[in-house]
Amino acid sequence: MAHHFNRRTALRLGAATASLPLLTSPTTAAAPGSPATTGELAGTTRLRGFPLSDVTLGRGVLADKRARMLSFARGYDENRLLQVFRANADLPTHGVEAPDGWENLDGEANGNLRGHFTGHFMTMLSQAHASTGEEVFDRKLRTMIAALHECREALNRKPAIRGTTGRFDTAVAVRRGSCLYFDAPAEAVNGLSSTTFAAWIRPAVAEPWTRIFDFGNDTETNMFLTPYGGDGLPRFAITRTGGESEERIVGSEPLPVDEWSHVAVTLAENSGALYVNGRRVGRNALMSLTPAELGTLAHCWLGRSHYDDPVYAGGYDDVNLWSTALTSEQIERLQHARAADTAVGAGDRFSYACAEQDGTVLHDGSGGGRHARYARSWGEPSHPGFLAAYPETQFILLESMTTSDYHRVWAPYYTAHKILQGVLDAYETTNDQRALELASGMCDWMHSRLSKLSDTDLQRMWSIFSSGEYGGVVEAVLRTHEHTREPEHLRLAGYFDLDSLIDACAQDRDVLDGKHANQHIPIFTGLSMLYERTGEQRYRQAAHNFWRMVVPPRMFGIGGTGEGEFFHGSGAVAELLGPETAETCCAHNMLKLTRSLFLREGDPDYAEYYERTLLNQILGSKQDKSDEDKPLTTYFIGLQPGAVRDFTPKEGTTCCEGTGLENATKYQDAAYFVSEDQSALHVNLYLPSTLRWRARGVTLEQETAFPYEEHSRLRVNGSASFELRLRVPRWAGNGFSVRVNGTRQRVSARPGEYVTLSRNWSTGDTVDVDLPFQLRAERTPDDPTVQNLMYGPVNLVARDERTDFIPLAVHGTARLSGDLSRALEPVPGEPLHFRIGDVELVPFLEGTTDAYHAYFRRQEPRIVFDSVDSGVPNRRTADGTTFLDEVWAKAPFDNKGELTSRVARISQHRRREGTFTATERERILSAVERAAYDG
């Protein structure tokens, strides 16, 4: 039976590990390059990465891409992102507007994900500062830390009334996004058979269904006045049996925004009227309900709704409630002075002059002492550590939800993760203790909520699509624990276990079909880290197996995964090619998981995947231009024929644009790794960079234009004895070679392994690595005729506007190595640009808006060897595999004899099956014999 890290286990392990080293090290280790299996894992290879500050990018395509993002980071006003935090805390927003999209109060699903992008932005700034040392990034981080700290402090204070210029003198104003309202005693309304409500209002925005007032008990029994109903017109409604039975009065014209308007409603003798600026704009002479018919009411709210509608934002002045129905003449008098200063007199049920400039109470001038309390619609934070750009409501509602509804609850713990990660990165960059206080406080707050829930409740929450998504919060919590050493923080990490998924993956049962991809990928990075703290083997096994369920059976050629944000069946690739494939967040999180697993296992397959995804999807997800307002990164990357990348999805602040900020400022993150004992340095990525290996006093400079150059030179500065382990990529051809100080080395490592160079290194030593690219066609697992082209590590796409698969034939020029490069005709002056016939091929990493084909239709009508045409049709088997596909699946061949023998065996087998006649087989054998294969 699987051991569950439930709340009780968490309590035990939290106490037991509080005094242990933060990174425990297993006693056994697998040799680098040894393949891990899906069975029980015997041990790990403990490796460590280098901080971004120790790896400097050199000139090249990665630095060019990053430069565009750094330009955005320097110029973008961080106060725009802080606006929603400040509004939520009812702090001045300094006149800035939040960006469009998900960070806006008007964003998708009521802006229920706002705040997430701020976290991404802080992480980007932290990475940018680590990579460049530029003061501007440090300054922006400190501004954001100070602002978020101020917001958290404000949320823990009682809100204070804000004054503004009123219709007559002073008035009160409610800031949009603050969720503040006035709570008057309900006794003011109870029992009224006739009544008049009148007030001056100045709406800050024409937001539908906000409330000027809402008196009632719930959504069944209430009466309300909204400045903007569903039709944009003012509406009064009263009901005791829900919205479908409302008795209404609807105005004739919209109310102006940011201007004072006088509104009044009268009810008496089965008739009601609505007035705007002293003029009757609506009447209902068939009304049967009054407050008296509603019974004893519970609430008398100004600005708050009994529904989930937004809270009214704007000004209030001279708010009055009478127990009689005023005449039209009396209402007209209210246009010229406060009610108390006219013959009408102040409201006898309540009268709020709204002259307060601070404090927490609107004072009643009616003589009845019915003062209104200023309060947040969602109450107070449940814990002082709470920090968000929206109320705590989403977290509270999630605890009782059973089905997804992102208009009510989108992904609150996902958003919390982004904020937590951002402030934690900011702390590690600036050493500003306020940032650590924010991170620690958020963990304390999450622990205070989740520790009170049952295991059943937690499993239900985390199983809900979207609403229960929590991103990489476990990773961020564990990183916080490294600094605080608080046992509660380690226990908190265990509360996010989704046992059904963890157990299935630990047992190597593939249950991914239909699951939201990005909701689940980061779970396993957290598990990989949690294994280090707890020794829980199922965490390690689950992460190991999950990765192999994605790579390669659910992987596209560019490295990404998922369609429409979801995983589909294992091996489904060709059938999914469409406009919503390869969500960029998925690639981002797969790389984080891949890096984490490589640190534990040292398997070169992880480095192979990392390189593919970085050089293709990640680089290709950033447009090759700069923009002051948007990061210009993709959400989905369409892979259907004739696709065009969208670099401005959903107005600029989506999850994928957030991860895009991070991607473009940490390209060098997985280039180098070192063994735990500092004796061996792994070079995983060939890219222009300089590594400062502080522990050994060595600098390693890598000079290359890779991937535009098939060679790299590493130059040593300093003296030390260590092993230099160079990755031999699986895509590298037979010409892979290594020279040390000009002397060629004997390379016994095969593609997919490491070459180990052990010596006493000295300043001036050089290592030259030749990395010959080959062209290969990769078949999709569900349709062997649909393929993508890889030139070395680079995905080549056809630049073409057609919307049907382009047919290509490439096997006729294949070499014994399987290299198809002879089919390519280089385009002069355009590195990595080629032609095959009339089809132009370009690297996907170029971030353009040109139409492209990432996949093509393999069309080899006849069996051809080295341009020798046998004249025999290249027939397919039942699964779509052609004769040539089957032959070349075993490439590379050491010599022509190996190829000839394979052709003979397969053709004989197919002749017996009836695929070929004896004569056709002889033609095939003759053709392969005549083929030269001398290069």
**What is the pLDDT confidence band of residue 854, given thresholds at 50, 70 and 90?**
very high
Q: ∠ CA 35-37-41 to the nearest 5 degrees?
A: 105
Confirm whether 866 is domain-assigned: yes
SS3 for 718?
Answer: coil
Verify that 745 and 879 share a domain, yes or no.
no
Q: Is the confidence at residue 23, as pLDDT, over 60?
A: no
Q: ∠ CA 293-294-296 to the nearest 5 degrees?
A: 110
Q: What's residue 879's pLDDT?
A: 84
Each residue's pLDDT tens digit, 403-444: 999 999 999 999 999 999 999 999 999 999 999 999 999 999
Q: If you average pLDDT over residues 834-859, what whole number do you get? A: 97
Q: For residue 72, what are the CA distances in angstroms to 8, 88, 104, 136, 467?
A: 47, 26, 19, 12, 31
Q: What's residue 651's pLDDT?
A: 84
Element holding 863 (H helix, E strand): strand 862-865
CA 236 – CA 249 distance, rounded (Å):
5
The share of the chain scoring above pLDDT 70, in percent, equals 95
Both tokens of 445, joined, read: 């707050």
Verify that 757 and 868 share a domain, yes or no.
no
Letter string b/e over residues 522-554, b meaning 16 or more CB atoms within 10 A of that residue's CB: bbbbbbbbbbbbbebebbbbbbbbbbbbbbbbb
Q: Is the confidence at residue 31, as pLDDT, over 70?
A: no
Q: Is the confidence at residue 542, as pLDDT, over 70?
A: yes
CA 614 – CA 803 distance, rounded (Å):
27
> What residues does 376 pair with on adjacent strands?
180
Q: If you average pLDDT over residues 137-166, what whole number do you get? A: 97
Residue 769: half-sphere exposure toward Cβ, Cα within 13 Å: 28
Q: Identity (one letter) of the amino acid at 443?
A: C
Confirm whether 618 is domain-assigned: no
CA 329 – CA 610 distance, rounded (Å):
77
Confirm whether 275 is domain-assigned: yes
CATH code of 729's domain: 2.60.40.1180
Q: What's residue 44's pLDDT?
A: 58
**What is the pLDDT confidence band of residue 269, given thresholds at 50, 70 and 90?**
confident
Verify that 212 and 352 share a domain, yes or no.
yes
The share of the chain scoring above pLDDT 90, in percent, equals 91
- Give the domain-ending residue among 343, 376, 409: 376
Q: Is the confidence at residue 27, as pLDDT, over 70?
A: no
Both tokens of 633, joined, read: 């990164």
How many domains does the chain fold into?
3
Verify that 305 and 202 share a domain, yes or no.
yes
- Give the domain-ending residue among 352, 376, 400: 376
**What is the pLDDT confidence band of residue 748, given thresholds at 50, 70 and 90?**
confident
Confirm whether 122 is domain-assigned: no
Q: What's residue 41's pLDDT?
A: 59
DSSP, residue by residue, 329-376: HHHHHTTTS-GGGSSS-S-SSEEE-----SSSEEPB-SSS--PEEEEE
Asked if residues 569 and 510 have their Cβ atoms less than 8 Å apart, the reply is: no
Both tokens of 107, joined, read: 């964003």
Asked if residues 754 and 32 have their Cβ atoms less than 8 Å apart, the reply is: yes
Both tokens of 482, joined, read: 């490294």
Each residue's pLDDT tens digit, 107-135: 999 899 999 999 999 999 999 999 999 99
Confirm whether 68 is domain-assigned: no
CA 652 – CA 632 distance, rounded (Å):
8
Verify that 763 and 866 share a domain, yes or no.
no
Each residue's pLDDT tens digit, 378-388: 999 999 999 99
Confirm whether 735 is domain-assigned: yes
Q: Which domain holds residue 329?
A: 162-376
Confirm whether 167 is domain-assigned: yes
Q: Is the confidence at residue 338, as pLDDT, over 50?
A: yes
Verify that 753 and 867 share a domain, yes or no.
no
Verify that 867 and 760 share a domain, yes or no.
no
Q: Could you check whether the bond before residue 553 is cis, i.e. omega within 30 degrees of 0? A: no
Confirm whether 619 is domain-assigned: no
CA 199 – CA 180 distance, rounded (Å):
18
Verify that 868 and 734 share a domain, yes or no.
no
Asked if residues 293 and 195 have their Cβ atoms less than 8 Å apart, the reply is: no
CB atoms inside a 10 Å sphere around CB 521: 29
CA 53 – CA 666 distance, rounded (Å):
10
Q: If you average pLDDT over residues 670-696, what whole number do you get? A: 98
Spatial CA neighbour of 654 closest among 115, 124, 102, 41: 102
Question: What Rg value do the Cα atoms of the chain yield, rounded?
Answer: 33
Q: What is the dihedral of CA 96, 99, 105, 109, to 10 degrees?
A: 180
Q: Is the confidence at residue 34, as pLDDT, over 50?
A: no
Element holding 224 (H helix, E strand): strand 222-226
CATH code of 236's domain: 2.60.120.200
Name the average pLDDT for the chain. Answer: 94
CA 212 – CA 406 distance, rounded (Å):
26
Q: What's residue 43's pLDDT?
A: 54
Which of 225-229, 514-518, 929-933 shows the lowest per-residue confidence on average (mean pLDDT)?
929-933
Q: What's residue 813's pLDDT?
A: 87
Q: For residue 203, what are the CA distances in angstroms to 206, 227, 262, 417, 636?
A: 7, 8, 11, 34, 38
Verify that 757 and 898 share a domain, yes or no.
no
| HEC letters along 493-537 | HHCCCCHHHHHHHHCCCCCCCCCEHHHHHHHHHHHHHHHHHHCCH
182 phi/psi in degrees, rounded to 5 = -110, 130
Verify that 316 and 176 share a domain, yes or no.
yes
Spatial CA neighbour of 247 closest among 228, 263, 226, 224: 224
Q: What's residue 676's pLDDT?
A: 95
Q: What's residue 121's pLDDT?
A: 98
The more confidently predicted of residues 748 and 154 is 154
Spatial CA neighbour of 655 closest among 466, 482, 911: 466
Verify that 183 and 300 share a domain, yes or no.
yes
Q: What is the reported pTM?
A: 0.93
Please enumerate in sequence order all residues whose Cβ is within 8 A of that of 207, keeping only pairs 6 or more positions apart, or say none: 106, 176, 228, 310, 313
- Give the domain-ending residue among 376, 402, 418: 376
Each residue's pLDDT tens digit, 785-814: 999 999 999 999 999 999 999 999 988 889
